Amino acid sequence: MEAPFGPTFSTVAAGAKGDAHYNLLFSELSFFLCGSVSSFCLIDTQVLHYALLHVNFPHMFSAEGSSTYKQHRRTPSSSSTLTYSPRDDDDGMPPIGTPRRSDSAISVRSLHSESNMSLRSTFSLHEEEEDTEPQVFAEQPSVKLCCQLCCNVFKDPVITTCGVNKCPVDAAKLTVVVNNIAVAEQIGELFIHCKYGCRATVAGKPGAYEVDPLGCPFTIKLSTRKEHEASCDYRPVRCPNNPSCPPLLTMNLEAHLKECEHIKCPHSKYGCTFIGNQDTYETHLEVCKFEGLKEFLQQTDDRFHEMQLTLAQKDQDIAFLRSMLGKLSEKLDQLEKNLELKFDVLDENQSKLSEDLMEFRRDASMLNDELSHINARLNMGILGSYDPQQIFKCKGTFVGHQGPVWCLCVYSTGDLLFSGSSDKTIKVWDTCTTYKCQKTLEGHDGIVLALCIQGNKLYSGSADCTIIVWDIQTLQKVNTIRAHDNPVCTLVSSHNMLFSGSLKAIKVWDIVGTELKLKKELTGLNHWVRALVASQNHLYSGSYQTIKIWDIRSLECVHVLQTSGGSVYSIAVTNHHIVCGTYENLIHVWDIESKEQVRTLTGHVGTVYALAVISTPDQTKVFSASYDRSLRVWSMDNMICTQTLLRHQGSVTALAVSRGRLFSGAVDSTVKVWTC
């Protein structure tokens, strides 16, 4: 926002609100700077306090103290003029304990002179760099063009806002936003008297001037004063021939030169000692021995000047080269230090690599010994016919789902694979002939979390809390059952019964054609039932850190296994072992007869979401799927990982096996087929 001309104050009655209001008024002051931003240091805080009191509490000051403009008249032949000066320090002081201000603090050096100049000093030489000049206006300037702090006309008016430089009022930071061109132009149009037509006042008060009737009579615009004063006939100058000549005015210089007795020969710099007046000067040039050599001397001077310029340029080049040499030396030192540091690191790494190599060789030797021992045992038939060349490879990928695949189920009779996904659909894949999607089953309103087959019926459980019954022959929906109050997490069938797991509950359903009749609800579970497996006459359920074993015929819990490493996410049962995968990357193994834990398998670095088993008369393999995007193959004969399968681009969440083949579903929305 553009500030108004001059300072702005909030006026109040004297003593209305005491010191608190005075401090607020002091902080609310907005102003135009009288000089450039760098002149902040010329205005101190005490002066600003005094100025604020002077504006807002005038009754504290005398009538003389409030006077800002003083009139001065010319002689009868001249017009009346005004001189603009700071308030008189002696005119009045506030009755409170405000520190006394000084002229040097309240005035701005760039606008007013602080010396008493006599008539003689008016004609003294003014140096170009002097920035204090008398300023007498032909007419009284508008108050809007004056600073109420120092009572002077603005020199470089600007609009400021809080930002960088310190405000002399409240020490807040200020940034010059933009020059106030409108005020600057108005000030530039004010008429003033030429400084060579002004003199110090008779009273001799510092910084006060009046019109000199003997000086320059011109009035000029403030914006053009430099041009006029540079060529003013009343400008004091020195005689170019001899500084000891009396001071001159520009208008008198030409006449003085004709009479001056101190004219020197133009060749004095070469040794000519002639000094005389204008008449003898012309006679001397005819006989001066240097005049005949003028052209040679001029050429010599020019050549000498060129050599000086060349020498100065060479000096600059040398300084630049020295600077560059210094920088190059510093950079070279830095490079040497970096190189030494890298050599140290290289030596350290080389030593470490040597130690690692020796360790690796020792490990390799131990592995060779172990392999020799295993081969000997294999040849003796102790471990059966284990084939180390039986490696699983990815043979293909089913692509079609629009979301993560959460469950898989195989219908062996027709070589069909069913996959359930976050896209709320079930896809039917041909795994024997076409290897394509046969149909997409739609019916659920939530994520499909579980699939199970009993006879020629497919059962699907979903986050919509329902179980849908599908006819596998026609691939049509034949029934929908509202099964739980929470998502159906897992399904398994056995003995013509369907078991469904949800939050803290397992429901047992009798399968009657396409209908499901609730038979019983198994309780005593303290968390989500994420894993259900039926094997022979037992049902295995995983909930939190507990595996419960139920008798399928009596539907009673007959044993409880406690786990560690987080909640149970998956269960598999072999002929000899119970296997479970947990949230914290572990796979626990129990003996199926003694119910004693025999091993904990490690290797995954993510939750073990699914387990599957492939058994042959010779060996048993367990497959594990994990959040770490990998599948692992475990030999249950010696409890070691024989292979790690890496192909999925997301967490592997589901497994199914059929005819020696392994199917894996993942968060990357694909189903992959693995075979030996």
Express each pLDDT in 268-294 by its tens digit. Answer: 888 888 888 888 888 888 888 888 788
Q: Is the pLDDT of residue 297 over 90?
A: no
Sign of the alpha-carbon dihedral angle for 254, 258, 262, 267: positive
Are 321 and 200 in a shared domain?
A: no
Yes or no: say if 40 and 32 are a contact pair by the CB < 8 Å rule: no
Residue 189 lies in a domain: yes
Are 188 and 314 in a shared domain?
A: no
Q: What is the pLDDT of residue 54?
A: 41
Mean pLDDT along residues 69-79: 34
Residues of the chain above pLDDT 90, percent: 46
Which CATH number fits the domain that encloses residue 520? Answer: 2.130.10.10
Are 445 and 579 in a shared domain?
A: yes
Are 408 and 366 in a shared domain?
A: no
Q: Is the pLDDT of residue 136 over 60?
A: yes
Q: Is the pLDDT of residue 519 over 90?
A: yes
**Distance from C-alpha of 121 to C-alpha of 358, rounded to nearest angstrom:** 97
Q: Is 366 exposed, middle or buried (0-12, 13-18, 19+ CB in 10 A)?
A: exposed
Residue 666 lies in a domain: yes
**Distance from C-alpha of 271 to C-alpha of 274, rounded to nearest angstrom:** 9
CA distances from 400 to 184, 405, 446, 451, 667 (A): 76, 10, 18, 18, 13
Mean pLDDT along residues 412-436: 91
Are 411 and 324 in a shared domain?
A: no
- Copy the structure tokens of residue 546: 């507990």
- Look up the domain containing 596 and give its range: 393-675
Yes or no: say if 242 and 260 are a contact pair by the CB < 8 Å rule: yes
Residue 43 — pLDDT band, cuts 50, 70, 90?
Answer: very low
- Copy the structure tokens of residue 99: 């520190």
Alpha helix (H) residue ranges in 398-491: none
- What distance lies between CA 185 and its chain's CA centroid? 43
Largest CA distance in the chain: 148
Yes or no: say if 467 and 500 are a contact pair by the CB < 8 Å rule: yes
Other Cβ atoms less than 10 A from the Cβ of 325: the count is 10
Mean pLDDT along residues 31-59: 37
Residue 560 lies in a domain: yes
Mean pLDDT along residues 491-506: 94
Q: What are phi and psi of 546, to 5 degrees?
A: -135, 135
Strand stretches in 180-237, DSSP E: 191-193, 198-200, 209-211, 219-221, 236-237
Side chain identity at residue 8, one-letter code: T
Q: How many C-alpha atoms does 15 have within 13 Å on its Cβ side?
A: 3
Boundary (domain end) residue, out of 351, 382, 413: 382
**Distance from C-alpha of 470 to C-alpha of 650, rounded to nearest angstrom:** 29
Boundary (domain end) residue, out of 223, 239, 266: 223
Q: What is the pLDDT of residue 173?
A: 66
Q: 79-88, 197-206, 382-391, 634-643: lowest mean pLDDT where?
A: 79-88
- What distance lies between CA 649 and its chain's CA centroid? 33
Are 67 and 209 in a shared domain?
A: yes
**Distance from C-alpha of 363 to C-alpha of 354, rounded to nearest angstrom:** 14
Q: What is the pLDDT of residue 267?
A: 84
Side chain identity at residue 360, one-letter code: F
- Total domains present in the chain: 3
Are 670 and 528 in a shared domain?
A: yes
Mean pLDDT along residues 4-32: 36
**Distance from C-alpha of 46 to C-alpha of 168, rounded to nearest angstrom:** 10
Are 610 and 663 in a shared domain?
A: yes
User: Is pTM beyond 0.85 here?
Assistant: no
The alpha-carbon radius of gyration of the chain (Å, integer) is 53
Yes or no: say if 565 and 588 are a contact pair by the CB < 8 Å rule: yes
Residue 553 lies in a domain: yes
Alpha helix (H) residue ranges in 381-443: none
